[in-house]
Amino acid sequence: MDSTWLILLLFGYLLGAIPNGLLIGRHLYGIDLREHGSKNIGATNAFRTLGYKPALLVFLTDTGKGIFAVYGAMQVTTSPLILLSVGIAAIVGHNWSIFLHFKGGRGVATGLGIITVVIPKITIVVFLAWCLIVYFTRYVSLASIIGAALVPLLVWLMNEKVEYLYFGYIAATFVIVRHTANIKRLLSGTELKIKMGHASAPSDRR
């Protein structure tokens, strides 16, 4: 592994490690998401705690980390292996951020950003599936788990590059493992459903 690859991996990790949910909650709304709801800094907890507009901002900025990690690497190399390893580094940074004492989110939005750049047609299918599952079940965690599992399956069905298949397996494993507690709650029937079109105003949570 040469020095350029190592620099790109560090770039991907540090970009992924930016705690957007924490920064948005603190600086725009005066609320630390780690002290509310599921204590996660992702878009779902932002929705429950702050409302849909802050949640959308968290989602877009977390997705942007995956997009810009891979797009930035593209300015240096065209190697699918290097590009996807930088994407994986961004997910690792998001999930185990150096700025949060190696804690973080679950990597769903960041992973979506990565596949948006490298395999956009699969992104559309996965995102639509995620939306439908959330709409009919109200379980964001279930939609995220199934969406992640769909990536390697769709890559295989569409006969995409083998590097994309490996990425799909690794990224899906990260997402599913990070949802272990959610899976247990889904199986026991105690997982919280999201209330569509409703979330408490930030002032109600101070």
The predicted structure's pLDDT at residue 188: 96
- Picking from 148, 140, 155, the residue whose alpha carbon sits closest to that of residue 170 is 148
Contact (CB, 8 A) for 90 and 69: yes
Look up residue 130 and give its two tokens.
Answer: 């995620």
The answer to whether residue 36 sits within a structural domain is yes
* Residue 103, SS3 per DSSP: strand
pLDDT band, residue 38 (cuts 50/70/90): confident
The string of pLDDT tens digits covering residues 143-160 is 999 999 999 999 999 999
Domain span including residue 14:
3-198
The answer to whether residue 205 sits within a structural domain is no
Given a cut of 60, is residue 204 above it in pLDDT? no
Look up residue 105 and give its two tokens.
Answer: 């989110």
Q: How many domains does the chain have?
A: 1
Look up residue 23 and give its two tokens.
Answer: 């920064």
The answer to whether residue 204 sits within a structural domain is no
CA 34 to chain centre: 17
- Picking from 41, 11, 40, 12, the residue whose alpha carbon sits closest to that of residue 24 is 41
DSSP class of residue 37?
Answer: T
pLDDT band, residue 203 (cuts 50/70/90): very low
Given a cut of 80, is residue 201 above it in pLDDT? no
CA dist., res. 141 & res. 115, Å (int): 19
Mean pLDDT for the chain overall: 92
Given a cut of 60, is residue 122 above it in pLDDT? yes
pLDDT band, residue 39 (cuts 50/70/90): confident
Taking residues 83-109, report their average pLDDT: 95
The answer to whether residue 206 sits within a structural domain is no
The predicted structure's pLDDT at residue 1: 62
**Residue 119: C-alpha distances to residues 15, 149, 157, 166 (Å):** 21, 15, 13, 13
The predicted structure's pLDDT at residue 191: 94
CA dist., res. 41 & res. 95, Å (int): 10
CA dist., res. 198 & res. 178, Å (int): 26
Q: What percent of the chain has pLDDT over 70?
A: 94
Look up residue 174 and give its two tokens.
Answer: 């990260």
Contact (CB, 8 A) for 36 and 49: yes
Taking residues 62-89, report their average pLDDT: 96
DSSP class of residue 75?
Answer: T
Given a cut of 80, is residue 77 above it in pLDDT? yes
